[in-house]
Amino acid sequence: MLKAEIHCHIEGAADPALIQRLAKKYQVDMSDIIQDGRYVWSNFTNFLNTYDKASSVLREPEDYRLLTYDYFSRLAAQDTIYGEIFGSSDHAAVMGIGYVDLVEAMSAGIEDARRESGIEGRIIMTCVRHLGPEAADAVAEQVAANPHPMVTGFGMGGDERSFDIADFSSAFATASDAGLGLTAHAGEFGGPESVIGALDHLGVTRIGHGVRSIEDPELVKRLAHDNIVLEICPGSNISLQVYSDFASHPLPKLFAEGVRVTINSDDPPYFHTSIEREYEIAKKEFGFDDATINDFTRTAIEAAFVDEPTRESLLKRLDNAA
Ligand code: ADE
Ligand code: ZN
């Protein structure tokens, strides 16, 4: 079955072995966050800190190119025809990598993988919610001032429990004026009000996670009516204990209510997952048949931040395979 993914953080996709190798090169001790070849963390806040520390050895554009190439090659090996990855210029900047160098390195990684396997990809530049609205404005301004054909979206990750979402509206307006697609993490650790805030103040067409929308029936109706697409990451939600088990995960209910859903891996090695495993979860844990799962892939391509000819060609590939 062909696959597509529209929610994955590139820093969060770094294999622990790659981070260990870079840590050795830059002489950083990672024994507190990588044990027995696995990332160790205990809760969402600690996960974000672990993620920041692991990212701190991505120090040269070549590290980002290699990471991006490695991730897209792995996606292609799992029959994925399209991948959209979040990049964080704030993380790169801490390590002295400038915005343009970051974008060129990530693009080169995608293009190297595309030449080998035919996989298509795009980049969504993200701001980090817990760094606040001013930092978000700076990221949006960078994106707008340096247009690049591979950067087609603007998003926001980080801790949605911090700052007032309305204060991020200027960053999203800047990105929207620059012609970028918009998405924001909401309804993961925040409740339905967090999703409502993202819709009302940021003008997004997609929501990262959004699963806790299920707690507000009116919001669920709004999502379905307005064709808002949820980038759902089931394995991530269980790992981070947003839900205790797949039986209590709301994806099937959201889908039954007419909400457009997609399945994604978020930060795969942190959650011991992959896009392949997420598709398996859709089948084995949620009981969806292949045709329905194929429709999730179609939704991802329909909602992708990509030009129309590329979208048409991806949809054709999906139809031909089915
Ligand atoms: N950054 C990386 N993974 C994230 C997640 N699951 N939620 C919010 N921000 C993130
Ligand atoms: Zn995410």
Q: Per residue, what are the HEC states of 30-58?
A: CCCCEECCEECCCCHHHHHHHHHHHHCCC
User: Burial of 118 by CB count in 10 Å (0-12 exposed, 13-18 middle, 19+ buried)?
Assistant: exposed
Give the sheet arrangement for strand 181-186, strand by strand: 3-5, 80-88, 120-128, 151-157, 181-186, 206-209, 229-232, 260-263
Q: Which residue has the tokens 């090659």?
A: 73
For residue 108, is pLDDT > 90?
Answer: yes
Extract the tokens encoding 124.
């969504």
Which helix or strand (DSSP H or E) is residue 83 part of? Answer: strand 80-88
273 close to ligand 1 (CB < 6 Angstrom): no
The pLDDT confidence band at residue 89, using thresholds 50, 70 and 90, is: very high
Which chain residues have CB less than 5 Å from ligand 2, an ion?
266
Atom of ligand 1 lying closest to residue 236 CA: 6
Q: What Rg do the C-alpha atoms of the chain give, in angstroms? A: 18
For residue 110, the CA-to-ligand 1 centroid distance in Å is 22
87 close to ligand 1 (CB < 6 Angstrom): no
For residue 224, the CA-to-ligand 2 centroid distance in Å is 21
For residue 322, is pLDDT > 90?
Answer: no
Q: Give the 3-state secondary structure of residue 317.
A: helix
The pLDDT confidence band at residue 66, using thresholds 50, 70 and 90, is: very high
Measured torsion, CA atoms of residues 38, 40, 41, 42, in degrees rounded to the nearest 10: 110
How many other C-beta atoms lie within 10 A of the C-beta of residue 155? 29
Which of 8, 47, 48 to mutate to test ligand 1, by most ligand atoms within 8 A of the CB atom?
48
Atom of ligand 1 lying closest to residue 11 CA: 2
Model confidence over 141-165: pLDDT tens digits?
999 999 999 999 999 999 999 999 9
Residues 6+ apart with CB under 8 A from 193: none
157 close to ligand 1 (CB < 6 Angstrom): yes
90 close to ligand 1 (CB < 6 Angstrom): no
Q: So what's the pLDDT on residue 240? A: 98
Nearest ligand to residue 14 Cα: 1
> Residue ranges of the alpha helices (H) in the chain?
16-25, 44-55, 61-77, 89-94, 99-117, 133-145, 169-177, 192-202, 217-225, 234-239, 251-256, 275-284, 290-303, 308-321
pTM for the whole structure: 0.98
Task: Give CA–CA dist 204/202, Å, rounded.
Answer: 6
Whether 9 contacts 269, CB under 8 Å: no
Q: So what's the pLDDT on residue 148? A: 98
- Stretch 28-49: mean pLDDT: 96
Residue nearest to atom 9 of ligand 1 (CA): 158
Comparing CA positions, the residue from 72, 104, 103, 75 lying closest to residue 88 is 103
Q: Which residue has the tokens 């995960």?
A: 249
The pLDDT confidence band at residue 309, using thresholds 50, 70 and 90, is: very high
For residue 318, is pLDDT > 90?
Answer: yes
266 close to ligand 1 (CB < 6 Angstrom): yes
Atom of ligand 1 lying closest to residue 270 CA: 3
5 close to ligand 1 (CB < 6 Angstrom): no
Map out the domains of the chain with their CATH numbers: 3-308 (3.20.20.140)
- Stretch 34-43: mean pLDDT: 97
For residue 158, the CA-to-ligand 1 centroid distance in Å is 5
Task: Give CA–CA dist 48/320, Å, rounded.
Answer: 40
> Among all residues, which ones are annotated catalytic?
188
267 close to ligand 1 (CB < 6 Angstrom): yes
The pLDDT confidence band at residue 57, using thresholds 50, 70 and 90, is: very high
Atom of ligand 1 lying closest to residue 129 CA: 9
Task: Give CA–CA dist 259/251, Å, rounded.
Answer: 9
